[in-house]
Amino acid sequence: MENKLSELSIFFPFWDEEQNVRGVVTQAIPIAESVAKKWEIIMIDDGSADKTLEVMKDMAEKDKRLKIVHHKINRGYGAALRSGFENSQYKYIVFTDGDGQFDFSEVDKFAEKIKSADIVVGFRKKRRDQKILKRLLLMNLLKVWDFILFRFYFKDIDCGFKMFRKEAIEKLNPLRSEGAMITSEIFAKAKRKKLKLDEVGITHYPRTVGHQSGANIPVVVRAVLESFILWYDLHYGRT
């Protein structure tokens, strides 16, 4: 890539992804070298019950450029992202979900757009989820919900591939959401702070191993509760 980013923090949130973690991180290393002059990769273990952490430790022992952040218990997607942001030291920050459903080589699209934006948001040109009808229904309900409560709209709100300027994250802090509403919190606060957001289309792949949890009833209920808390915080000056 011409005109590499000066520095880049990359992080991946993992929860029970022992079959994915090695492949996701290993594939990201040469890509990181091609897009940034200086970089780091942070592996977030959100209280996995399988051998995800053990795989991470093995990888980090062999490559000192890899870092580990470990949650003793499973706290949720938002908590994993917050840990990633908190532990990222470089000017630009990018994350993708650790389930192997994104092609990290497409980070170059984000790197180009971040030069004139504060946040770059990916959208899946064609979703390839398991139980696709259920996932599409939930995504569209979330779009409507967020528009009603927070007055913003994006093509793919919950796409797990995003890039930020570190200074943009600092303007959004403190982030409070522990669960799936973390993205809505980011967008709602970004709108309030008048940050510039851009979107980029990316390829989405079906999950081949592991399990999806985003459409589970407890996750949805938690998201609804967190959305009301966020609305209250935004309207009564706590954030």
Residue 22 · residue 55 · CB < 8 Å: yes
Work out the mean pLDDT of the chain and round it to a whole number. Answer: 90
Kindly state whether residue 72 falls inside one of the protein's structural domains. Answer: yes
Check pLDDT > 80 for residue 140. no
Check pLDDT > 60 for residue 147. yes
Those residues whose C-beta lies under 8 Å from the C-beta of residue 38, and which sit 6 or more positions away, are 6, 7, 8, 90
Quick one: pLDDT at residue 216?
A: 65
pLDDT bucket at 4, cuts 50 / 70 / 90:
very high
Residue 43 · residue 12 · CB < 8 Å: yes
Q: Which two tokens stand for residue 69?
A: 């952040």
Quick one: pLDDT at residue 218?
A: 74
Kindly state whether residue 73 falls inside one of the protein's structural domains. Answer: yes
Kindly state whether residue 102 falls inside one of the protein's structural domains. Answer: yes
Quote the pTM value. 0.89
Kindly state whether residue 52 falls inside one of the protein's structural domains. Answer: yes
Kindly state whether residue 105 falls inside one of the protein's structural domains. Answer: yes
| Distance from the Cα of residue 167 to its chain's centroid | 17
Domain interval for residue 163: 8-139+159-175+195-212
Kindly state whether residue 236 falls inside one of the protein's structural domains. Answer: no
CATH number of the domain bearing residue 94? 3.90.550.10
Kindly state whether residue 228 falls inside one of the protein's structural domains. Answer: no
Whole-number Å distance between alpha carbons of 23 and 100: 8
Number of domains in the chain: 1
% of the chain residues with pLDDT over 90: 69
The string of pLDDT tens digits covering residues 170-225 is 999 999 999 888 999 999 999 999 999 999 999 999 888 866 655 566 777 777 78
Kindly state whether residue 123 falls inside one of the protein's structural domains. Answer: yes
The string of pLDDT tens digits covering residues 83-125 is 999 999 999 999 999 999 999 999 999 999 999 999 999 999 9
Check pLDDT > 90 for residue 166. yes
